[in-house]
Structure 1
Amino acid sequence: MNATRLPAALALSLAIAFGGASLPGPAAAELDVVDPDRGFPRVSRPYESMDAAFSRVGIPRSVAQIRQVRVGGTKADLVRALGRPVSAYADGSWNYDLSLDYPQANRLVCQYRVYFDAAGRVEETVWRRPQCAAVVRGGRRRAP
């Protein structure tokens, strides 16, 4: 499956920002792809007085929980690792809003989309934000 690759300048700046953490090459194509244009739902809250329904609240999850997600894993495996998704799409993919510990802040809310193959097994995972992938990847995660 084709995965969107990070532009070289963004990859370099992320590697520097995260202490030289390597970004994925072709070996990690199915896990932790970064693609903000992959159809993630968008919410914005430009005014503090705006109703809280317009802000995204992530479910706290650890990096260890996210690293349990594997290509070929079942939907039951995914629910055990991350819980129920916040939404599902017509293409069968699931969307999660996850809250992760972030080195430069208290928490980082991340959108994480999981795609399944025809047998209902994990085929690909996609992050909306490169910061989220970098936190989970930590320079070490690779597709099995």
Structure 2
Amino acid sequence: MLKTVSIAVLASVLSVGSAYAGMLNEHNPNMRFESVSPALPELNERFVRNGKSVSVGLVRQIELGATPEQVSSLLGQPVRVTNRGGAQVWDYNLQFKTAEDGDIVCQYKVLFAGARQVDETVWRRPQCRELVLGHN
């Protein structure tokens, strides 16, 4: 009986851990990222998306459970802070150097759960996610 209960407890702990493990560096373009689509004659400073130049290594340091202070020490202040379903959402425009394309500006969201800890991070563009995960 004890062995059966221990296996059940271990299985539930592992499943909870794996549920959280997949929440960093998600790709979800439907997560209400700000879109910019002007006609070329309308293109002005408002539509230029400049990102804060950061290294991939800094973004890789963001972990589940990190505090807002830890995130801002790595990435600086977000460009926008909103609330979504009880979570605080920080939006960043990050600029990375790439070997192929030169610079790439990536939209990145950091979601803080009720305990004010990182609960999820999301990329708008899959190539940004792949760059940070090292799959490029």
Equivalents in 2 of 1:78, 1:132: separation in Å? 18
2:10 maps to which residue?
none
* One of 63, 78, 97 as aligned partner of 2:56: 63
**1:100–1:45 Cα change, 3 Å:** farther
Equivalents in 1 of 2:123, 2:111: separation in Å? 12
Contact 1:59 1:99 in 2 (8 A): yes
* One of 111, 118, 130 as aligned partner of 1:115: 111
TM-score under structure 2 length normalisation: 0.78
Equivalents in 2 of 1:81, 1:65: separation in Å? 6
- What 5-or-longer segments of structure 1 have no aligned partner? 1-24, 140-144
Q: SS of the counterpart of 2:40?
A: coil
| Superposed CA offset, 1:20-51 (max 9, x none) | xxxxx967411100000101111124316621
Question: When you count helix as a share of all residues, which structure comes out higher?
Answer: 2
Q: Percent identity?
A: 36
- What 5-or-longer segments of structure 2 have no aligned partner? 1-17
Q: Does structure 1 residue 38 correspond to structure 2 residue 38?
A: no
- Structure-to-structure mapping, 1:62-101, within 5 angstroms: 62-91=55-84, 92-101=88-97
Contact 1:58 1:110 in 2 (8 A): yes
**1:60–1:48 Cα change, 3 Å:** farther
Contact 1:45 1:55 in 2 (8 A): no
Read off the aligned partner of 2:43 and give its amino acid letter.
M
Q: SS of the counterpart of 2:23?
A: coil
TM-score under structure 1 length normalisation: 0.74
* One of 102, 127, 133 as aligned partner of 1:137: 133
Aligned-pair distance for 1:117? 0.9
